[in-house]
Amino acid sequence: MKLIRFCAENGEKSESFKPGLLKEDGKIVDLTTIFPDIPDISRKFFSQGWVEKTAEIDETGKKMDVHLGCPVADPSKIICLGKNYKEHAKEGGFDVPEKPLLFCKTLNTLNGPFDSVEMPRSSGQIDWEVELAIVIGKQGRRISREQAYDYIAGYTVMNDVSAREAQFAFSQWFRGKSFDGFAPMGPCLVTSDEIKNPHDLRLTARVNGKTMQDGNTNDMIFQIPAIIENISEDITLEPGDIIATGTPSGVGIFRDPPIVIKAGDTVECEIEDIGKIVNKFV
């Protein structure tokens, strides 16, 4: 099933979002009309078993004009992987990492699937990175590879927007990855039972309609079970946590000449079997 968070079409980002189901024909099921006590799609939603409860619903939904929000609210952390696709490491002239290269994006980066992204003042060279994001469904620590899939609630699309000038100016990536709105996500959270093989999904990124990235998750250096095992060895994963699994080749900064996002540009990130997010940079 496809979980969404939505509000009225003309709603503001600060408005309360409702949990819902996105049906194949675009109709929406408002889960609050069925479960008045249902929490937002956040830590309680996963830890209290609402994924399983909503899976039992047999409703067709109805057409609604809505504004979609980031499909997960208030995660405890957003963990990202760098250089996790062979071709991406190659295009940047990097050695293949021996262990997963981890960094974090802060919660202020979370953004809706069709919301605008504000250009930062303190850095240029704004770039795109389409990524498959994992959402954790239950608390776990020292999770083995064999157990890893049991801890996944679902998958979504993320654009790991990156300010390369700030990212490469220092020996850490925190600032260049964590500007406001730099993690658009969505359009929905597809539950893990709907994704038969997360390591065989096509990922594409288009800038102003031109395809820039066209890859497949089968190019990952570290696959999902290894990623979860590595992170959880000494970091407790909480329900609702987000793990962005890296990006394929085709980012702007490593092109010759480099291509960067300008105000007014639109970036579309799409992953097979999940959906597409479209964000204008302003």
String of DSSP letters for 246-270: ---S--STTSSS---B-TT-EEEEE
How big is the chain by its Cα radius of gyration, in Å?
A: 18
Q: Are 43 and 238 in contact (CB under 8 A)?
A: yes
Q: Are 124 and 189 in contact (CB under 8 A)?
A: no
Among 162, 141, 261, 155, which residue's Cα sits nearest to residue 201?
Answer: 155
DSSP secondary structure, 58-95, as one string: ----B---EEE--SS-S-S-EEEEES-BHHHHHHTTPP
Q: What are phi and psi of 101, to 5 degrees?
A: -95, 110
Neighbours of 13 (CB within 10 A): 14
Architecture per CATH, domain 78-280, reads as Alpha-Beta Complex (3.90)
User: Residues 220, 221, 222, 223: is their CA dihedral positive or negative?
Assistant: positive
In the chain, what are the domain boundaries? 2-68, 78-280
Residue 260 makes CB contacts below 8 A (sequence gap 6+) with 124, 125, 126, 127, 164, 252, 253
Q: Are 30 and 70 in contact (CB under 8 A)?
A: no
pTM of the model: 0.95
How far apart (Å, rounded) are the C-alpha atoms in residues 98 and 83? 11
Q: Give me the residues of the chain with pLDDT under 50, please.
A: 14
- Predicted confidence at residue 10, as pLDDT, reads 62
Helix (H, G, I), strand (E, B) or coil at 32: helix
Among 215, 240, 212, 245, which residue's Cα sits nearest to residue 227?
Answer: 245
